[in-house]
């Protein structure tokens, strides 16, 4: 890369929840940023404030088709991440992970770019190892309702490492655990947005099973910091690297936090567990801490407070 010019960065899925926050940070730091999104789950409102920035460009594009741009770095974030969205069109979900990876890796090879894959903790499936370390191969159902996402991301990791070994491509693979914050879609079916929106509306809070299943929740600003540190780390650190908050909470604990912060009188309504829903999920982030000097800074209660404020504004605007 020419040290005298800004780094040219492509962010696929850049109008999504996580992608838009990443674009914010990259633009703010002076990079030339291209956001590519087909708006299946992304929204122009997430990046509308960036459209007037001279170092930001938006392209409507589906990465299951090739893309031809000149860039130095590629963050491949494109793929629906919430179960209702990725199960709505499972074939397209798999195509996005697999064909999309092939196309973005081909682009990186042509232009000599470094490329980061936004993989997921879902590659661990319903884990038999706790907390999950990067050397754990996972416990995934290859033919279940969630397989389009889980196995699509696992295949994408395979492609990344094969490109690295076969053609020497500079790759980074991040395994992202549950992330939350402003700009989450209120209808995307993820637990944090579900609980907050239900509580603010006074609806019953949906608890699947007995609520004892656990997740770890990372605030979006912390996650973006981890992605950028991984992208710019030494070439010998390919990953996969777990990025998430090692704090572990049951669904009942999360629901009680939300009820307290929203001062809601909502009751809890229990429903059967969805198919292949993991019972426990918590990252071991030793690798990220050691090699990236990274660990989350925003505690759950503070992050939830910011997210509740965001959804309060969204719901108030929709009621006008």
Q: Which residues are catalytic?
A: 149
Element (H, E) at 180: strand 179-180
Separation of alpha carbons 52 and 47, rounded Å: 10
β strands within 77-170, DSSP E: 114-120
298 alpha-carbon distance from chain centroid: 17
- N- to C-terminal Cα separation, the chain: 49
> Phi and psi for 176 in degrees, rounded to 5?
-90, 130
User: Do 12 and 104 touch, CB atoms closer than 8 A?
Assistant: yes
List residues bridging with 243 in a β-sheet: 176
Q: Token pair of 50, please?
A: 């960036």
> Phi and psi for 114 in degrees, rounded to 5?
-85, 140
Closest among 107, 29, 120, 127 to 65, alpha carbons compared: 107
- DSSP state, 8? E
Q: At a CB cut-off of 8 Å and minimum separation 6, what does 184 contact?
A: 17, 190, 192, 193, 307, 310, 311
- DSSP state, 226? H
SS3 205: strand
């Amino acid at each position: 890369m020419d040290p005298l010019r800004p780094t040219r960065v492509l962010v696929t899925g850049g109008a999504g929840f996580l992608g838009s926050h990443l674009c914010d940070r990259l633009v703010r730091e002076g990079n030339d940023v291209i956001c590519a999104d087909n708006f299946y789950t992304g929204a122009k409102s997430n990046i509308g404030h960036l459209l007037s920035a001279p170092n930001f460009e938006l392209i409507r594009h589906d990465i299951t088709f090739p893309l031809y741009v000149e860039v130095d770095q590629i963050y491949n974030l494109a793929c629906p991440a919430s179960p209702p969205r990725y199960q709505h069109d499972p074939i397209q979900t798999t195509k996005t992970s697999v064909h999309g990876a092939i196309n973005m890796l081909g682009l990186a090879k042509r232009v000599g770019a470094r490329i980061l894959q936004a993989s997921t903790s879902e590659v661990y499936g319903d884990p038999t190892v706790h907390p999950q370390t990067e050397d754990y191969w996972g416990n995934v159902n290859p033919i279940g309702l969630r397989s389009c996402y889980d196995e699509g991301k696992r295949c994408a990791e395979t492609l990344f490492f094969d490109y690295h070994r076969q053609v020497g491509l500079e790759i980074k693979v991040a395994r992202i655990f549950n992330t939350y914050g402003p700009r989450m879609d209120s209808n995307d079916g993820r637990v944090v947005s579900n609980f907050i929106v239900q509580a603010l509306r006074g609806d019953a809070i949906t608890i699947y099973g007995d609520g004892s299943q656990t997740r770890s929740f990372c605030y979006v600003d912390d996650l973006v910091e981890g992605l950028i540190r991984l992208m710019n780390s030494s070439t010998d650190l390919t990953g996969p690297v777990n990025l998430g908050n090692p704090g572990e909470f049951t669904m009942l604990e999360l629901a009680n936090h939300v009820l307290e912060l929203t001062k809601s009188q909502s009751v809890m309504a229990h429903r059967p567990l969805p198919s292949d829903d993991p019972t426990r999920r918590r990252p071991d982030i030793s690798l990220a801490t050691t090699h990236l000097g990274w660990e989350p800074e925003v505690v759950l209660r503070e992050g939830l407070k910011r997210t509740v404020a965001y959804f309060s504004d969204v719901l108030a605007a929709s009621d006008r």
